[in-house]
């Protein structure tokens, strides 16, 4: 009988890798029958401290291993392209690497699930085609998950960029009224390629088998209720299951400083 494995796929950046490692350790506490493989991109924002960190985790947690994807060079962009657009393009360019790697892992072990970061949404299609259930790990809390899940509807109801909607307030389930111009930066400008990538990623949230969110009902009662009951998703009856697993907090010495990507969607 093959060993059973859960594969985790964080977006680039130390902060996101640390978050996925914390999730991996929580999964191992709840079940010891699985091994964990964490996929890491290679070629963009490869911080020099990551190697030492993953070596330390691998040594102290033998059931957690790391697998670097083949090196992927960052395409050349115009100077006007946003940082988020570069990140989304880089992650999409790794889709083939993820598909090939999942296929290789599946030959030696049974992959029970692929858990992906929001920016790794392009990995959903190849994993699903292999029959691997796909879950999201959403680290920003239930209110932000509600906003992201509802963003496709906000987009459909308007034809101009949110940055130009001065004085307009948006109604989003699970959130207080939001000023349109205060949305996370990649959601503001329709002329930014990142806007359309984020819209695509938000649309894919509803297609996941489930979403793990780093929150709990006592912290965000209205937001947790909104996502748990599917009020933010296009079809309530087809909304993915949402699991509140917070608070999930890394030790101070592990979390380090926030990387730039971690701050992109803070609002």
Rounded distance, CA 88 to CA 44, Å? Answer: 12
Q: What percent of the chain has pLDDT over 90?
A: 76
Residue of 48, 96, 117, 192 with catalytic role: 117
User: What is the pLDDT, as a whole number, of residue 177?
Assistant: 95
Instruction: Report pTM.
Output: 0.91
Q: What percent of the chain has pLDDT over 70?
A: 92
Nearest to 148 by CA among 114, 197, 91: 197
Class level of CATH domain 3-263: alpha beta
89 class by beta-carbon count within 10 Å (0-12 exposed, 13-18 middle, 19+ buried)? middle
Could you confirm whether 117 is annotated as catalytic?
A: yes
* Domain ranges within the chain, ordered by starting residue: 3-263
Phi, psi dihedrals of residue 5, rounded to the nearest 5°: -130, 145
pLDDT tens column, 198-244:
999 999 999 999 999 999 999 999 999 999 999 999 999 999 999 99
């Amino acid at each position: 009988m093959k060993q059973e494995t859960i594969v985790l796929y964080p977006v680039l950046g130390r902060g996101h890798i640390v978050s996925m490692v914390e999730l991996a350790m929580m999964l191992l506490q709840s079940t010891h029958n699985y091994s964990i493989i964490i996929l890491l991109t290679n070629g963009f924002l490869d911080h020099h401290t990551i190697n030492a960190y993953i070596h330390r985790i691998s040594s102290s947690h033998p059931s957690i291993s790391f697998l670097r994807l083949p090196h992927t060079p960052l395409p050349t962009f115009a100077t006007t392209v946003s940082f988020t657009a570069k990140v989304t393009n880089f992650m999409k360019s790794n889709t083939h690497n993820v598909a090939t790697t999942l296929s290789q892992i599946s030959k030696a072990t049974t992959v029970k699930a692929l858990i992906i970061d929001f920016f790794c949404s392009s990995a959903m299609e190849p994993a699903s085609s292999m029959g691997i259930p796909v879950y999201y790990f959403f680290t920003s809390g239930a209110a932000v998950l509600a906003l992201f899940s509802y963003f496709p509807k906000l987009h459909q109801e308007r034809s101009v960029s949110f940055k130009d909607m001065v004085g307009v307030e948006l109604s989003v389930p699970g959130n207080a009224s939001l000023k349109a111009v205060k949305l996370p930066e990649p959601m503001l400008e329709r002329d930014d390629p990142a806007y359309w990538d984020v819209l695509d990623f938000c649309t894919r949230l509803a297609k996941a088998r489930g979403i793990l969110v780093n929150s709990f009902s006592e912290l965000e009662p209205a937001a947790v209720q909104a996502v748990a009951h599917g009020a933010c998703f296009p079809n309530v009856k087809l909304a993915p299951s949402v699991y509140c697993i917070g608070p999930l907090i890394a030790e101070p010495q592990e979390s380090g400083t926030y990387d730039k990507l971690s701050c992109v969607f803070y609002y």
